């Protein structure tokens, strides 16, 4: 056990990594020892401005960083020698190759949803399987969409209401910072396979989940929208279903009657609330349109893809290092430090 703060590294200071780094800094029981990346432009210069020690993930990157005036604290190996756990938020394919490096350095590691379950043999959503991650050397925080599915269907399942679920996922085309060089425009593209990968991915965490997902990619850049039809185990009321969601963490309610009518309204609200980067860490579930007819429930929710996995990464740090053995307590520490809410 640790009688000091957990020492954390973030490798890959992009959309996910920069948010996880800030979230680590917000925790009382963690210390951000440094962040590592390969770029030397504005993206990593922000880390310097925030006072985060910057390390070069590969040798050549260190040279370019120094030339760009970035004070380089050392190599990735140097960083790994100073930490207990590394959150790897590098792009797909890059990340998988890092696992052996982390193991050789004796550092626990957390990967992201772009990686396969088979890389770590364990996938993570705090409210469902915190305990099985305790003491492991590595895990994978599942993708934004899968995280939302596990949170919501997990909530219905633990309250005994879930028989089977069918969901349509309207995905964002690309992340806003990349919209000058990727993404689609003026069309909607159905994915080639049904089920899309998110349903099977959720089963890496809840194996007996009866779920099928259909995904389409739309031409906007921020947030996914999920529309779900759920067969319940019995005839139920709206309140039964809402109570099940209320009993689970990290689901917050949006109301069209209050003017939150679309993805953009929620984003504006998050910014106005002064949340960092306008982030929504919770599943944003529309309360007033949720409908129940007999044993069928229907609802829509918003997934802020860039932020929803951030609290899960923080809990994964506590689970792997064992600094907190109680998942519920870890969730509440994380949520309090970040400022998650139940209602907007």
Residues with catalytic roles: 144
Q: Taking CB under 6 A as the rule, does residue 327 contact ligand NAD?
A: no
Q: Which residues pair with 254 in a beta bridge?
A: 286
Separation CA 245–CA 251 (nearest Å): 7
Q: Taking CB under 6 A as the rule, does residue 198 contact ligand NAD?
A: no
Interface with ligand NAD (CB under 6 A), residue from 8, 11, 270, 321:
11
In the bound state with ligand NAD, the residue whose beta carbon lies nearer, of 119 and 212, is 119
Q: Taking CB under 6 A as the rule, does residue 58 contact ligand NAD?
A: yes
What values do phi and psi take at 279, rounded to 5? -75, 145
In the bound state with ligand NAD, the residue whose beta carbon lies nearer, of 42 and 293, is 42
What values do phi and psi take at 342, rounded to 5? -105, -25
Q: How far is CA 204 from CA 20, 27, 191, in A?
A: 23, 28, 21
Q: Taking CB under 6 A as the rule, does residue 91 contact ligand NAD?
A: yes
What is the distance, to the nearest Å, from the Cα of residue 315 to the centroid of all Cα atoms in its chain?
11
Among residue numbers 100 through 129, which ones bind ligand NAD (CB under 6 A)? Answer: 112-115
> Are the C-beta atoms of 96 and 119 separated by less than 8 Å?
yes
Interface with ligand NAD (CB under 6 A), residue from 26, 39, 64, 68:
39
In 233-295, DSSP assigns E strands to: 251-254, 283-286, 291-293
Q: Could you tell me the smallest distance in angstroms from the CB atom of residue 293 to ligand NAD?
A: 33
The residue number whose beta carbon is nearest to ligand NAD equals 14
CA nearest 148: which of 261, 228, 220? 228
In the bound state with ligand NAD, the residue whose beta carbon lies nearer, of 92 and 103, is 92
The distance in angstroms from the start CA to the end CA of the chain is 38
Among residue numbers 201 through 220, which ones bind ligand NAD (CB under 6 A)? Answer: none
Strands 224-232 and 296-303: antiparallel
Q: Taking CB under 6 A as the rule, does residue 278 contact ligand NAD?
A: no
> Are the C-beta atoms of 248 and 127 separated by less than 8 Å?
yes
Interface with ligand NAD (CB under 6 A), residue from 33, 85, 89, 110:
89
Q: How far is CA 5 from CA 2, 8, 97, 176, 338, in A?
A: 7, 9, 28, 34, 18
Among residue numbers 167 through 196, which ones bind ligand NAD (CB under 6 A)? Answer: 175
Q: Taking CB under 6 A as the rule, does residue 20 contact ligand NAD?
A: no
Note the residue count of the chain.
344
In the bound state with ligand NAD, the residue whose beta carbon lies nearer, of 39 and 214, is 39
Q: Could you tell me the smallest distance in angstroms from the CB atom of residue 58 to ligand NAD?
A: 6
List residues near ligand NAD by CB under 6 A.
11-17, 36-39, 43, 57-58, 89-92, 94, 112-115, 143-144, 175, 305-306, 309
């Amino acid at each position: 056990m640790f009688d000091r703060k957990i020492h954390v590294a973030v490798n890959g200071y992009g959309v996910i990594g920069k948010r996880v780094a800030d979230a680590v800094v917000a925790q009382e029981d963690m210390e951000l020892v440094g962040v590592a990346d390969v770029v030397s432009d504005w993206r990593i210069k922000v880390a310097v401005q925030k006072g985060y020690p910057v390390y070069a993930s590969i040798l050549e990157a260190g040279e370019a960083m120094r030339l760009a005036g970035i004070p380089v604290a050392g190599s990735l190996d140097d960083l790994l020698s100073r930490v207990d756990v590394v959150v790897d938020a590098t792009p797909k394919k890059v990340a998988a190759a890092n696992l052996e490096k982390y193991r050789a350095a004796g550092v626990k590691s957390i990967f992201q949803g772009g990686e396969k379950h088979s890389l770590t043999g364990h996938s993570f959503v705090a409210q469902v399987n915190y305990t099985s991650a305790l003491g492991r050397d590595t895990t994978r925080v599942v993708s934004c969409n899968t995280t939302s599915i596990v949170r919501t269907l997990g909530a219905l399942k633990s309250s005994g209401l879930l028989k089977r679920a069918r969901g349509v996922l309207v995905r964002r085309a690309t992340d806003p910072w990349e919209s000058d060089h990727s993404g689609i425009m003026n069309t909607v593209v159905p994915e080639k396979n049904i089920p899309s990968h998110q349903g099977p991915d959720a089963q890496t965490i809840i194996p007996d989940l009866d779920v099928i997902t259909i995904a389409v990619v739309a031409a906007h850049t921020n947030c996914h929208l999920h529309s779900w039809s759920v067969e319940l185990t019995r005839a139920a009321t709206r309140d039964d279903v809402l109570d099940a969601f209320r009993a689970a963490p990290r689901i917050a309610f949006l109301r069209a009657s209050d003017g939150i009518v679309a993805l953009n309204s929620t984003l504006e609200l998050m910014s106005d609330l002064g949340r960092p980067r306008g982030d929504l860490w919770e599943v944003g579930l529309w309360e007033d349109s949720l409908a129940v007819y007999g044993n069928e429930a229907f609802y829509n929710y918003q997934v802020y893809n860039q932020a929803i996995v951030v609290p899960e990464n923080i809990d994964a740090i506590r689970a792997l290092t064992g600094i907190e053995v109680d998942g519920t307590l870890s969730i509440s520490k994380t949520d309090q430090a970040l400022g998650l809410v139940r209602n907007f």
